[in-house]
């Protein structure tokens, strides 16, 4: 766990020391065949040698070009609710992550949750619990799941969670997210860097959304790079807004409930530093932290380490995604709460005006 986290810290940094570059050189060699394979695949689809399937309704993809959490799932949730408010019912198609094979694709029909987190994966289960009236389906074959959703529910559109690299399915709108704090790392492909594809593939996007934007910072260099690659593309900006604290049973507490309290932050996400900064921004005193790799699976063994640290704090606070797994463990007091966050788009009216064009 520690080694993975340290390697992630190096990979995500834009600047690296000479010893770090030497350490990563074998990964650079491994990135060469990966890059060739990715470019060849994209070329086959762009030339029409590999065919895309088309569903009989608008399909909106939310994705990124880097590994790690840029905010795809929060945006999909915000989009699903925002479109519902505008009279556009949608369903969410997710590939899922570490879900069990053999389970049915329907995580929720919008009224009741059908699959467990073990069967569906972290993000699909989180979306199923937070969204009411919006079906969520999981599985590799998104065309098949899209047909299933359209046949069962009165939908006007479909949302692809993490769909930018899912080239077999035609999409009417590609929204690409970029984390303002990491950008594109140092511009290297996996496994040497954090890029899933070369930056030239940014041209496939219909518009960009820069996430985790702070009012006091400027993002001109990142936006200039985007303009050089894709000159005419619209660029929007978003930030996270904490909206409440969630008990394991789903009960919601207002944020001031933990203001001034000493908390122990536990997270298994791509950007744990940002999570801790959100807790501090809510007035909590983060006195202990435990960081795990993204999508970490918690077991009773982790209770030993957790119980050693909780003696110094009043509360344990985690992410909603981690709460799905942690709440099954027999944790003693202090109580366990999750921070609920919502994605807010600065140019919301203009953003939805662009999105709604695909339904006209």
What is the count of structural domains for the chain?
2
Q: Identify whether 19 is part of a domain.
A: no
Which two tokens mark 51?
Answer: 């065919």
Residue 188 lies in a domain: yes
Taking alpha carbons only, the member of 286, 278, 190 closest to residue 239 is 278
Residues 248 and 236 in one domain: no
Strands 136-138 and 90-94, sheet pairing: parallel
Fill in the DSSP letter of residue 196.
S
Q: Is the pTM of this model over 0.85?
A: yes
359 Cβ contact partners less than 8 Å away, ≥ 6 residues apart: 58, 88, 156, 157
pLDDT value, residue 1: 36
In a domain, 93, yes or no: yes
> 342-354, pLDDT tens digit by residue?
999 999 999 999 9
DSSP string, 39-57: HHHHHHHHTTSSPPB--SS
Token readout for 218 is 């400027």
Asked if residue 170 and residue 154 are part of one domain, the reply reads: yes
d(CA 249, CA 264): 20
Q: Of all helices (H) and strands (E), which one includes residue 234?
A: none
Q: Is residue 163 part of a domain?
A: yes
Residue 356 pLDDT = 97
Residue 32, in any domain of the structure: no
Residue ranges in 103-172 assigned as alpha helix (H): 117-120, 122-130, 142-152
Q: What is the pLDDT of residues 304-342, one digit of tens each?
A: 778 777 878 989 999 998 998 888 777 766 789 999 999
CATH of residue 171: 3.40.50.300
pLDDT of residue 2: 37
Same domain? 223 vs 275: no
pLDDT value for 353: 96
Tokens 């003696």 label which residue?
311
**Do both 231 and 259 map to the same domain?**
no
Helix (H) or strand (E) holding 271: none
Same domain? For 227 and 304 the reply is: no
In the 8-state DSSP scheme, what is residue 231? T
DSSP, collapsed to helix, strand or coil, labels residue 246 as: strand
**214 confidence band (pLDDT: 50, 70, 90):** confident
Per-residue pLDDT at 99: 60
219 is a domain residue: yes
- Domain, as residue range, for 157: 59-240+346-359
């Amino acid at each position: 766990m520690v080694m993975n986290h340290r390697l992630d810290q190096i990979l995500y940094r834009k600047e690296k020391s000479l010893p770090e570059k030497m350490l990563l050189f074998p990964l650079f060699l491994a990135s060469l065949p990966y890059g060739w394979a990715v470019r060849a695949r994209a070329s086959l689809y762009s030339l029409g040698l590999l065919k895309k399937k088309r569903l009989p309704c608008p399909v909106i993809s939310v994705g990124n070009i880097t590994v790690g959490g840029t905010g795809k799932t929060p945006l999909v949730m915000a989009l699903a609710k925002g479109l519902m408010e505008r009279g556009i019912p949608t369903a969410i198609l997710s590939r899922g992550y570490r879900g069990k094979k053999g389970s049915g694709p329907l995580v929720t029909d919008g009224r009741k949750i059908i699959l467990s987190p073990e069967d569906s994966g972290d993000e699909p289960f989180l979306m199923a619990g937070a969204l009411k009236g919006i079906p969520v389906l999981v599985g590799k074959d998104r065309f098949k799941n899209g047909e299933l959703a359209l046949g069962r529910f009165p939908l006007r559109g479909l949302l692809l969670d993490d769909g930018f690299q899912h080239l077999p399915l035609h999409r009417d709108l590609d929204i690409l997210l970029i984390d303002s704090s990491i950008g594109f790392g140092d511009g290297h492909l996996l496994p040497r860097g954090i890029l899933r594809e070369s930056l030239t593939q940014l041209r496939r996007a219909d518009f960009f959304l820069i996430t985790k934007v702070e009012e006091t910072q400027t993002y001109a260099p990142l936006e200039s790079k985007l303009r050089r690659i894709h000159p005419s593309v619209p660029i929007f900006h978003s930030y996270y807004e904490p909206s409440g604290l969630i008990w394991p049973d789903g009960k919601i507490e207002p944020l001031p409930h933990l203001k001034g309290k000493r908390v122990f932050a536990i997270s298994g996400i791509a950007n744990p530093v940002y999570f801790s900064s959100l807790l501090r921004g809510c007035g909590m005193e983060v006195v202990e932290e435990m960081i795990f790799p993204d999508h970490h699976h918690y077991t009773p063994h982790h209770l030993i380490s957790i119980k050693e640290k909780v003696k110094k704090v009043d509360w344990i606070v985690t992410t909603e995604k981690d709460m799905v797994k942690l709440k099954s463990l027999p944790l003693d007091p202090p109580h366990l709460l999750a921070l609920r966050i919502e994605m807010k788009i600065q140019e919301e009216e203009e953003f939805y005006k662009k999105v709604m064009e695909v339904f006209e």
